[in-house]
Structure 1
Amino acid sequence: MADRPPFTSRPSIEDAESEMAPLHPASTHDLEVTESQGQLIDATGHARIYKRRFFGLFQLVLLNIIISWDWLTFSAVSSTAAQFFQVSESAINWLSTGFLFAFVAVTPCTIWALHRGPKTSIVISALLLFAGNWIRYAGTRVGRFGVVIFGQIIIGFAQPFVLAAPTRYSDLWFTGKGRVSATAIASLANPLGGALGQLIGPLWVTKPEDVPDMVLYTAIISCVACLPSFFIPSKPPTAPSVNGDNEKLTVSESIQSLKRNKPFFLILTAFGVYVGFFNAVSSLINQIFEPYGFSETEAGIAGALLIVVGLVASAVVSPLVDRTKQYLLTIKLLVPLIAIGYLLLIFVPETRTVIGPYVVCALLGAASFSLLPCALEYLVEITYPASPEVSSTICWAGGQLLGAIFIIIMDALKGGVSGEPEATMKRALIFQAVVSWLAVPCVFALNLLDKSSIGLRRHGAETTTEEHG
């Protein structure tokens, strides 16, 4: 065993928390620090975690909320914004679609930044948010729509640096008992921000002349939210598990590993399709229901149910998955529910009653939001020892890219159905349901692969190391 370093070189005991039983009061005698692993462990070989991890998690949540709010700034007031900029509503819609495409463009940079550490990624996102918001405001103030699009794209560049960060952050700061919950909290902050944007925007904009003020208020809030990014800790004094962060592959090695990982591609396909359609439905929900006589308020409530019920469901499911580690079973239960939801969505608008859309949107929200963190953490497990930021960033990029493509396709499929309202999106909803069901077999095909390839590799490695610690 390596010689013990002086006591003063140990991390602060007061700052550390153990998810195991409390140490004996004379805890300084029950702790062991090894120079080879640089970890603080107790007599049973369990590593330690730190309260400061919640500061970084809070900032990750805050930035995900703000970026999503920025993304949908103009969506809820599209007609008024179109009047202000003297452009069509389709042009306003491209602010949202271009934002999704921007994610894909900086995916390699995101992987590099997250591999260096989540703080690097968070700081980059904060700087891009700051620049994009003020460029967007400048364009709005002088009435230059092209400048607004440029600012929106820069904000879009900021999104992947925090949206893809939760798995990397939870892997660095949390133990296996809290990773799914930490990933859920940070990831699901994104749609919460979108809901805030759609709710608050119409309150600030009642006429075209109000648009610059709305963009100014959003810019101020965004910049204030960015400030804590520069003060979060880079990494914990010791790894959250005895296995630590030392055995992760490099980025290039991780990518090579993923190329040979069949379970990764199956999960990637399902994840990309369902994230893509969730983005599409969120963006087009007014256009789905309005042709059938639903008001903007009723469509907005449906969108709110999609998000709020989803957040509540995920708050219940994520801790259960944390405790049981039943990732694959949970995914197999949720994916068919999502596909059923998209199938039902074809028929509920024509009922012209609010109960149908509300129930279906609640179902879609509950299943989609519960699936998201579970799938992201399962990806980390089946791709271990690949760095978690590589798999999560690639999957998010796939979801955002498909979301933008689905929006374009579904918009092109408007109308054209005999006996339906002129602007009906029934063909688009049929397309959505068909593709959703085609993605279902991907998760069940995992059972056809070797069991070792779909097992919990990271969890197994950490458990084995602790047992032999």
Structure 2
Amino acid sequence: MTEPKNLEVCGSVMDGIAEKGSALESPSKKQPTEYTVYPVRWVVLFIFVLYSASNSLQWIQYSIIQDAVVKYYGVSSIVVYWTSMVYMITYIPLIFPASWLLDKAGLRVTTIIGAFGTCAGSWLKVFSVPQDMFWLGFTGQTVVAIAQVFILNVPPRLAAVWFGADQVSSACSVGVFGNQLGVAVGFFLPPMLVRAQGTIEEIGADFQLMFYIVAAFTSVLFVLILLFFKAAPPTPPSAAADLGSNLDSNFLQSIKKLLTNRNYVLLLISYGLNVGVFYAISTLLNQLVLTYYPGANEDAGRIGLVIVVAGMTGSVVCGLILDKTHRFKETTLAVYAASVVGMIIFTFTLDCGIIAVVYLSSILLGFFMTGYLPVGFEFASEVTYPEPEGTTSGILNAVVQIFGIVLTLTYEWMLSNISDRWSNLTLCAILALGTVITACIRSDLRRQAAQNKG
């Protein structure tokens, strides 16, 4: 059974380009007045959310229990931090072939490759428990990081291919929600499973249990994707998707157009600054919290969980707002400015001595800073339509990784050599700069214009 949807004007992100290879009638031959969305789209989206979470939960898996990893494996703290930064390093050179693959081969092939890599890397970690096998765990982490390249730029494409004009922003937000869900679990699960104060034998057993749980989860998801994850619906869900499906995209030409698009370049910088700050705080959160609250290892994980869960809520709320109002520039600017306020409050409450206050300030910080992620995706697709969503979001994420590496290393150096107060104030200034850059972006909503024309 299908759900008929009337053609509506929509300003959401990515109705853009339907899956290549779908047998669709060209709008030039027939002007449809009604489009169909299929209930199975929710199954596809749900599987993707879990699959994305299975990968992103491993991003912070080592660094959130940095003290336990140092104690058990005998490696330095900076080596532990590189287990999260490897996610950023591998993304930069691989995003272009991954975006090309998504554009040419489609959702199903790309997703299967990513799911296999996530599963394989997780099982390598299972065999890295002996104290002299950290190198194997790092190898597994690198494989999982490479698999991430086939995940991060999928939400806008999946939303465009499967969802109607009045749901696509929300669908993209839910897709990004999967990544955030995984990060939340990554903050929460390792400190709960691995006892930093335990004996070497106890820590080893805890690592074994944690790695087995993650490997089993990724294995089940790999099977589900093989069985149930579909590439595209039989017919397009919206006018913009119908129009986009008939456009032949040239990958190199698309990159050239994107990098000469003033609004997109400004968004690349502002988005990179915001998410780079989030990466820096997330990677060093354990060290930051333990500075003022010694022994609060589980609290560090829970504070990270609070930041991400609040951001997940913010993502969904922002997606709904965009679907209802189509005010992309205004929403993006408001959320960015609120991130600055949240970071300032977090900075001045961190050393108050009452950890409950830190939890509260983390809610505010997370709601806006992490909630900004899908808003930036959506705004990017609006100002770059009809370029392929995978390429648009892929370059966006590549820039994020560069900013993430630079800001994480800079933040780590400042925490070690200056003070956390000045380190955090520097991040506040960076977010303020990003807000100014966002204000300079023109509201050129090309996808909305195409939907109107359709």
The answer, yes or no, to whether TM exceeds 0.5 is yes
Shift of 1:141: 4.7
Shift of 1:35: 4.3
Deviation larger for 324-333 or 95-104: 95-104
Amino acid aligned to 2:187 = Q
Could you tell me which runs of 5 or more consecutive residues in structure 2 were left unpaired when the two chains were aligned: 8-22, 196-201
Shift of 1:192: 1.5
The residue aligned with 2:422 is: 427
Larger Rg over CA atoms = 1
The residue aligned with 2:203 is: 208
Quick check: 1:127 aligned with 2:116? yes
Deviation larger for 208-217 or 378-387: 208-217
The residue aligned with 2:232 is: 235
5 Å-filtered alignment, 1:135-284, equals 135-141=124-130, 143-206=132-195, 207-210=202-205, 211-231=207-227, 232-243=229-240, 244=242, 245-247=245-247, 249-284=249-284
CA distance in 2, matches of 1:82, 1:38: 63
| SS of residue matched to 2:415 | coil
Could you tell me which runs of 5 or more consecutive residues in structure 1 were left unpaired when the two chains were aligned: 1-13, 22-32, 418-423, 448-453
CA distance in 2, matches of 1:108, 1:313: 29
Deviation larger for 204-213 or 329-338: 204-213
CA distance in 1, matches of 2:68, 2:365: 30
Q: Identity over aligned residues, as a percent?
A: 24
Residues 1:429 and 1:385: Cα distance change in structure 2 (over 3 Å): same
Amino acid aligned to 2:54 = I
Q: 1 or 2 for the larger relative contact order (CA 8 Å, sep ≥6)?
A: 2
- Contact 2:66–2:77 (Cα < 8 Å) also in 1: yes
The residue aligned with 2:14 is: none
CA distance in 2, matches of 1:79, 1:318: 37
The residue aligned with 2:53 is: 65
Residue by residue, what CA displacement relative to the aligned partner does 1:41-97 show, whole Å, maximum 9, x if unpaired? Answer: 86xx12211112122211210111100112222233322222332222332221111
Residues 1:80 and 1:293: Cα distance change in structure 2 (over 3 Å): closer
Quick check: 1:94 aligned with 2:82? yes
Residue by residue, what CA displacement relative to the aligned partner does 1:187-238 show, whole Å, maximum 9, x if unpaired? Answer: 1221221221232223332332222332122112111122122231111111
The residue aligned with 2:40 is: 52
CA distance in 2, matches of 1:370, 1:443: 16
The residue aligned with 2:438 is: 443
Shift of 1:374: 1.8
Amino acid aligned to 2:346 = L
Shift of 1:436: 1.5
| SS of residue matched to 2:127 | helix
5 Å-filtered alignment, 1:376-415, equals 376-415=377-416
Residues 1:317 and 1:225: Cα distance change in structure 2 (over 3 Å): same
| SS of residue matched to 2:275 | helix
Amino acid aligned to 1:249 = S
Amino acid aligned to 2:212 = L
CA-atom RMSD in angstroms: 2.3
Residues 1:148 and 1:234: Cα distance change in structure 2 (over 3 Å): same
Shift of 1:427: 2.9
| SS of residue matched to 1:19 | strand
The residue aligned with 1:338 is: 339
Amino acid aligned to 1:240 = P
Residues 1:443 and 1:213: Cα distance change in structure 2 (over 3 Å): same
Residue by residue, what CA displacement relative to the aligned partner does 1:88-136 show, whole Å, maximum 9, x if unpaired? Answer: 2332221111122112231112111210212121111012112212223
Q: How many residues align?
A: 426
Deviation larger for 287-296 or 428-437: 287-296
| SS of residue matched to 1:191 | helix
Amino acid aligned to 2:111 = I
Residue by residue, what CA displacement relative to the aligned partner does 1:417-441 show, whole Å, maximum 9, x if unpaired? Answer: 5xxxxxx422321221222112111
Amino acid aligned to 2:5 = E
